[in-house]
Amino acid sequence: MDLDANRSLIAAALGRIPAGDRTALQTVYRLTSAKLFGVCLRILGERGEAEDVLQEVYVTVWRKAADFDASRASPMTWLIAIARNRSIDRLRASRQSRNMAPIEQASEIADIAATADHALEGLQEHARLHGCLGSLATHERAALRGAFFDGNTYEELAARMAVPLGTMKSWIRRAMIKLKACLEQ
């Protein structure tokens, strides 16, 4: 589907939700639920929990659609943030993240996005982010990946990468500073 057309369809449907338009929410769901379910499933690692959280995500969208400002944010960005945050909330409520396997730093270089879903995210934005992530040190990129895709906390990342907590905080913060500088170039 054409990216701009899709984006404006989602944004327009979000705009109708505050008036109580259930078919508008259904439109948003139809266009975005596969992506958001993928996000929930990736972070939570279990279908039943991902389904529960996906339900929470769309009920949140229903309640908070008035907060979405199409002039300032992409609808997918807004929706993905809700899906990630609800999933992370669910993870935090349980004891720890599902994915706690040791992170092999050397293997992280290979995460070129052959499977990237550009229909929703935009080729350019993804390529740019990917380029900037590639400019980070391997351990920094690995730590960011663990946080973004597995929902790991600082403590969990430190455990997975076998470094002290302070070191992990430093890695992440330094990586975010570099990432912002790169994206703003």
Q: Which of 153, 146, 142 is CA-nearest to residue 89? A: 153
Please, which residue, 81 or 109, has the CB nearer to another protein? Answer: 81
* Spatial separation of the C-alpha atoms in residues 96 and 104, rounded to whole Å: 20
Smallest gap from Cβ 29 to another protein, in A, equals 6
Smallest gap from Cβ 54 to another protein, in A, equals 6
Please, which residue, 8 or 170, has the CB nearer to another protein? Answer: 170
Q: Which of 78, 77, 83, 91 is CA-nearest to residue 45? A: 91
Please, which residue, 93 or 101, has the CB nearer to another protein? Answer: 93
Smallest gap from Cβ 100 to another protein, in A, equals 14
| One-letter amino acid of 19 | A
* Spatial separation of the C-alpha atoms in residues 150 and 39, rounded to whole Å: 10
12 contact partners, CB below 8 Å, separation of at least 6: none
Smallest gap from Cβ 87 to another protein, in A, equals 9
Smallest gap from Cβ 18 to another protein, in A, equals 11
Residue 89, Cα to own-chain centre: how many angstroms? 13
- Tracing tokens 């508008």 back to the chain, one arrives at 24
Do residues 97 and 75 make contact, with C-beta atoms less than 8 angstroms apart? no
Please, which residue, 106 or 116, has the CB nearer to another protein? Answer: 116
Please, which residue, 26 or 138, has the CB nearer to another protein? Answer: 26
Residue 136 to residues 42, 46, 139, 166, Cα–Cα distance (Å): 23, 31, 8, 19
Please, which residue, 98 or 169, has the CB nearer to another protein? Answer: 169
* Spatial separation of the C-alpha atoms in residues 157 and 102, rounded to whole Å: 9
Smallest gap from Cβ 146 to another protein, in A, equals 9
